[in-house]
Structure 1
Amino acid sequence: MAVPKRKTSKARRNKRKANWKLTSPNLVSCPKCGDLMMPHRACKSCGTYNKRVVLDVE
């Protein structure tokens, strides 16, 4: 098996672990109702996508 020749330092190891973070979702306002929604998805409050009604919302 492959074995490392030298010990990985704490700084080098922790640099890899520093990029493990969550990102907040991008939100845009719905052109019809103005509610926040995720882009390229149907609006949950009014049911429109690309200026067309695609979901029946009460």
Structure 2
Amino acid sequence: MAVPKQKRSRSRTHHKRAKIYRAFIIAVTTCPNCGAPKQPHRVCLSCGYYGKKQIFEVAR
């Protein structure tokens, strides 16, 4: 079984863990149909379109 030659310092451990727990930035694009902000590759929740197809009807 592999055994580390030296103890990993506390700063190295915390530096490694900080990358795991960082906040994720959500990408946002505009809908080509209505111009509302939406996530890419998802149906627009304000108009119901995905690309140039209407996927569902939005009740207003």
Normalised by the size of structure 1, how large is the TM-score?
Answer: 0.82
Alpha-carbon offset, residue 11 of structure 1 = 1.5
Q: Secondary structure at the match of 1:18?
A: helix
Instruction: Give the root-mean-square deviation of aligned CA atoms.
Output: 1.5
Structure 1: runs of 5+ lacking an equivalent: none
TM-score of the superposed pair, with normalisation by structure 2: 0.80
Which residue of structure 2 aligns with residue 23 of structure 1? 24
Runs of 4+ in 1 over 6 A off after TM superposition: none
Query: Where in structure 2 are the equivalents of 1:33-52 lying within 5 Å?
Result: 33-52=34-53
One-letter identity of the residue aligned with 2:10: K
Taking only the aligned residue pairs, the percentage that are identical comes to 40
What is the CA–CA distance in structure 1 between the aligned matches of 2:44 and 2:10, rounded to whole Å?
46
* Residues 15-24 or 34-43, more deviating: 15-24
Distance 2:2 2:53 in 1: 58
Unaligned runs of 5+ in 2: none
Q: Which has the higher helix share?
A: 2
